[in-house]
């Protein structure tokens, strides 16, 4: 029997309370998250000289950026938002801004879009401040200076990659000079990608082969600070997006040949901290293992979001990812499916980290690049490695277009709700106009091609006359 009207409204109210509780937690001091070092970070002083007086404060300042990324980007702007935009998630937040995203009816003044823009540019500003401060410092050791500079260059590239894919041409800011930055116009996407690649190549040269701890030099098993392999893996993705397939194959092959990374045979182990499949993870321990676990694991209706039935039905019944990564919650006769990659909703025992980059993506990158270069045998070999781990047999298709479609479908099932892959995959492969009209109609909206991009926040345009709006908005 369906829940009655009163009960549903009580649950909606409780959901909103939970949402605001999470919001309050996120704005508490960053000490609630796992620390690498005991030195307190210089809060709101990233551009001041005191940050660059010694190795400890410089390291602590860089680690603040990772805490901020964990607290905002991983679960909201790069999981929940693209998930409800696409065919992955059903929104239960009951927020007007999220409803607009879910129905693909985003307005220019959408608060979530504005928050996305502001959060990314805030983090870019902090990365720029780190680069500038380290460059001018004479008190940081060369080893630590190289490590943190490489990390900051990587983070800046990582952030711009997502901004340019969400908004297309955007202001490219690589300095902290406020007055000039405030009036910058939009930079061509190709120029931004050139800068992304340049920064990643520089970062790769600067970073260590090994992962380092909070002091920036001590080798650790924790995979929480970027190293050469992290940059290599991300650059492979960037080259795939740029359709530079030879380069993508070379870099993904470098990562796949690295014995430090192997596919976890058990799906229960993939998202654990320091998983052998992990290339880069983020941590926010103590009460939350991950915010993804907090918002997605359903113990009561309505929660924050559930999985779109289209996605659930894409999995065959014998797919081990369906059995291990999709949870089921039943309320009366209502059944809800939810992402269950992260098993822990909250616990003081830390056993899960947020997965940012992992090895399976590299197999799929190389498979797609090989398919585009007509290497059918190589493409199928990599694709079947991912399928076989999921308990599925080899695919029997042999035509290029069929293989590319099969890879896209495999990415859908392997990488769902991870860092916006599905939305960006549909966009970069030209499939949005094929998939989204029916999906959007089912969600209560109507699809138009211009909605592949988000609007430039109206407040930003009001503050900066050199900014122009995306077509359609």
Report pLDDT for 302: 67
Q: Tell me which range, 15-24, 58-67, 178-187, 233-242, is most confidently predicted by mean pLDDT.
A: 233-242
Instruction: Give the model's confidence band at 168: pLDDT under 50 very low, under 70 low, under 90 confident, else very high.
Output: very high
Nearest to 152 by CA among 121, 186, 128, 120: 128
Q: What is the pLDDT of residue 303?
A: 79
Six token digits for residue 22: 């999470």
Query: Residue 14 above 60 pLDDT?
Result: no
Residues whose CB falls within 8 Å of the CB of residue 146, separated by 6 or more in sequence, listed in order: 206, 207
What's the confidence (pLDDT) of residue 331?
A: 87
Residue 350, pLDDT score: 92
CA gap 280, 353 in Å, rounded: 10
d(CA 72, CA 459): 21
In tens, the pLDDT along 198-257 reads: 999 999 999 999 999 999 999 999 999 999 999 999 999 999 999 999 999 999 999 999
The CA distances from residue 367 to 158, 250, 360, 361, in Å, are 22, 12, 11, 10
User: How is domain 43-463 classified at the architecture level of CATH?
Assistant: Alpha Horseshoe (1.25)
DSSP 454: P
Taking CB atoms within 8 Å and a gap of at least 24, the contacts of 132-138 are 132/47, 132/175, 132/176, 133/46, 133/47, 133/49, 133/51, 133/52, 133/58, 134/52, 134/58, 136/52, 137/52, 137/58
Q: Which residues pair with 305 in a beta bridge?
A: 91
The domain limits of the chain are 43-463
Encode pLDDT of 428-439 as tens digits.
999 999 999 999
| Per-residue pLDDT tens over the stretch 184-197 | 999 999 999 999 99
Mind listing the pLDDT tens digit for each residue in 286-316? 678 999 999 999 887 667 899 999 999 999 9
Cα gap 80→119, rounded to integer Å: 15
Q: What is the model's pTM? A: 0.91
pLDDT score of 99: 97
**CA–CA separation, 410 and 448 (whole Å):** 26
DSSP label at 154?
H
Concatenated DSSP letters of 302-327: S-SEEE-HHHHHHS-TT-HHHHHHEE
Contact 134, 152 (CB under 8 A): yes
Contact 230, 154 (CB under 8 A): yes
DSSP string, 260-288: T----SSGGGTTBTT-TTEEEEE---TT-
Q: What percent of the chain has pLDDT over 70?
A: 89
Band of residue 285 on the pLDDT scale cut at 50, 70, 90: low
Q: Select the more confidently predicted residue: 10 or 169.
A: 169
Strand partners, 330: 335
Q: From the DSSP assignment, how many helices (H) and strands (E) are in the chain?
A: 19, 6
What values do phi and psi take at 286, rounded to 5? 65, -120
- 88 — phi, psi (to 5°)? -95, -45
| β partners of residue 326 | 339
Q: Which of 35-44, 179-188, 387-396 has the lowest mean pLDDT?
A: 35-44
Mean pLDDT (the chain) is 90
Residue 329 parent element (H or E): strand 326-331
**DSSP class of 170:** B
Does residue 425 have a pLDDT over 70?
yes
Burial code (b: 16+ CB inside 10 Å, e: under 16) for 222-247 equals bbbbbbbbbbbbbbbbbbbbbebbeb
What was the pLDDT predicted at 286? 62
Using DSSP's 3-state secondary structure scheme, residue 72 falls into helix
Strand 89-91 to 278-282 pairing: unpaired
Q: Are 403 and 380 in contact (CB under 8 A)?
A: yes
Q: Is 67 helix (H, G, I), strand (E, B) or coil?
A: helix
Distance CA 2, CA 299 (A): 17
pLDDT digits (tens, 9 = 90+) for 335-378: 999 999 999 988 888 999 999 999 999 999 999 999 999 999 99
Nearest to 173 by CA among 120, 136, 133, 135: 120
Residue 131, pLDDT > 70, answer yes
Alpha-helical runs (H) found in 168-303: 178-181, 189-206, 228-241, 245-256, 291-296
pLDDT band at 4 (very low <50, low <70, confident <90, very high): very low
CB 184 within 8 Å of CB 466: yes
Q: What pLDDT score was predicted for residue 16?
A: 42
- pLDDT above 90 covers a percentage of the chain that reads 81
Residue 431 has what pLDDT? 98
Distance separating alpha carbons of residues 123 and 450, to the nearest angstrom = 27
Q: What is the pLDDT of residue 5?
A: 32
DSSP state of 328: E
Q: In whole angstroms, give the CA distance from residue 43 to residue 51.
A: 10
């Amino acid at each position: 029997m369906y829940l009655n009207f009163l009960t549903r409204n009580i649950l909606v109210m409780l959901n909103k309370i939970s949402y605001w509780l999470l919001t309050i937690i996120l704005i508490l001091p960053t000490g609630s998250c796992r620390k690498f070092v005991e030195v307190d970070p210089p809060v709101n002083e990233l551009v001041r000289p005191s940050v660059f007086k010694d190795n400890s404060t410089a390291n602590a300042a860089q680690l603040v950026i990772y805490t901020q990324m964990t607290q905002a980007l991983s679960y909201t702007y790069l999981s929940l938002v693209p998930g409800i935009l696409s065919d992955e998630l059903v929104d239960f937040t009951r927020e007007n801004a999220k409803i607009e995203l879910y129905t693909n009816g985003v307005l220019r003044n959408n608060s979530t879009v504005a928050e996305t823009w502001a959060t990314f540019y805030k983090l870019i500003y902090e990365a720029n401040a780190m680069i500038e401060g380290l460059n001018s410092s004479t008190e940081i050791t060369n080893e630590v200076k190289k490590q943190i500079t490489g990390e900051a260059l990587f983070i800046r590239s990582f952030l711009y990659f997502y901004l340019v894919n969400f908004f297309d041409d955007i202001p490219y800011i690589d300095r902290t000079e406020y007055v000039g930055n405030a009036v910058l116009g939009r930079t061509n996407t190709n120029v931004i990608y050139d800068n992304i690649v340049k920064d990643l190549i520089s970062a790769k040269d600067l970073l260590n082969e090994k992962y380092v701890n909070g002091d920036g030099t001590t080798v650790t098993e924790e995979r929480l600070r970027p190293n050469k392999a992290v940059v290599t893996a991300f650059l492979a993705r960037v080259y795939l997006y740029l359709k530079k397939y030879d380069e993508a194959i070379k870099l993904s092959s470098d990562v796949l040949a690295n014995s430090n990374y192997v596919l976890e045979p058990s799906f229960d182990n993939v998202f654990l901290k320091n998983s052998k499949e992990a290339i880069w993870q983020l941590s926010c321990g103590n009460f939350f293992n991950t915010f993804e676990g907090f918002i997605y694991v359903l113990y009561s209706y309505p929660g924050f979001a559930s999985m779109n039935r289209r996605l659930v039905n894409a999995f065959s019944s014998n797919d081990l990812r369906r059995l291990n990564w999709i949870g089921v919650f039943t309320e009366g006769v209502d059944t809800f499916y939810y992402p269950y990659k992260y098993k822990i909703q909250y616990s003081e025992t830390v056993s899960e980290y947020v997965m940012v980059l992992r090895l399976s993506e590299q197999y799929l990158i190389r498979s797609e690049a090989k398919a585009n270069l007509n290497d059918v045998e190589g493409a199928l070999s990599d694709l079947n490695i991912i399928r076989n781990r999921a308990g599925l047999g080899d695919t029997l298709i042999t035509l290029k277009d069929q293989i590319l479609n099969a890879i896209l479908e495999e990415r859908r099932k392997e990488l769902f709700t991870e860092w916006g892959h599905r939305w960006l995959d549909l966009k970069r492969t030209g499939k949005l106009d094929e998939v989204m009209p029916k999906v959007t109609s089912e969600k209560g909206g109507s699809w138009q091609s211009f909605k592949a991009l988000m609007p430039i926040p109206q407040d930003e345009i009001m503050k900066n006359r050199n900014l122009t709006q995306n077509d359609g908005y």
